[in-house]
């Protein structure tokens, strides 16, 4: 089966993969040190709710390791998605060039550390 253009990831972009999802680096970091996304392997805008929940759970698990340099990161809805026909969610820290867009996008904050201490 031919992969869609969105699903053609290079091995170096993949941070996690299993039979349901990929977690990959985003192509545009928007000024962030790290910016990742989870993509379902189903080519649909609306995968089953259980798949979406699993994908977000894995994104949080991987994100806590990748974003260990900040106290929290966020998972963004697809409001400003460049891929409107494929389900995915982006995880980002709050230290990039797109903070206004992050604030304007429905998002969930994931706390890694309860208090930021030196």
Q: Residue 103 and residue 37: Cα distance in Å, rounded?
A: 18
Q: What is the per-residue pLDDT across 31-49, written as a single tens digit (0 to 9) for each?
A: 999 999 999 998 888 999 9
What does the pLDDT read at residue 31?
A: 93
- Rounded to the nearest integer, the mean pLDDT of the chain is 89
pTM value > 0.85 = yes
Instruction: Say what percent of the chain tops pLDDT 90.
Output: 68
The third-level CATH classification (topology) of the domain covering 5-111 is HIT family, subunit A (3.30.428)
Q: Is 24 a residue whose pLDDT tops 80?
A: yes
Q: Is 114 a residue whose pLDDT tops 90?
A: no
Residue 4's nearest CA partner among 45, 43, 44 is: 43
Give the pLDDT band (50/70/90) at residue 115: low
Q: Is 117 a residue whose pLDDT tops 60?
A: no
How is the chain split into domains, by residue range? 5-111
């Amino acid at each position: 089966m031919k992969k869609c253009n969105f699903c053609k990831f290079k091995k170096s972009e993949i941070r996690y993969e299993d039979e349901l999802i990929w977690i990959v680096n985003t192509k545009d970091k928007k000024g962030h040190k790290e910016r990742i996304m989870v993509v379902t392997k189903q080519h649909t805008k609306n995968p089953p709710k259980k798949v979406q929940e699993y994908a977000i759970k894995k994104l949080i698990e991987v994100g806590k390791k990748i974003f260990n340099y900040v106290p929290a990161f966020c998972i963004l809805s697809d409001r400003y998605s460049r891929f409107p026909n494929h389900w995915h969610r982006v995880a980002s820290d709050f230290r990039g060039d797109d903070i206004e867009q992050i604030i304007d996008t429905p998002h969930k904050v994931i706390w890694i550390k309860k208090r930021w201490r030196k």
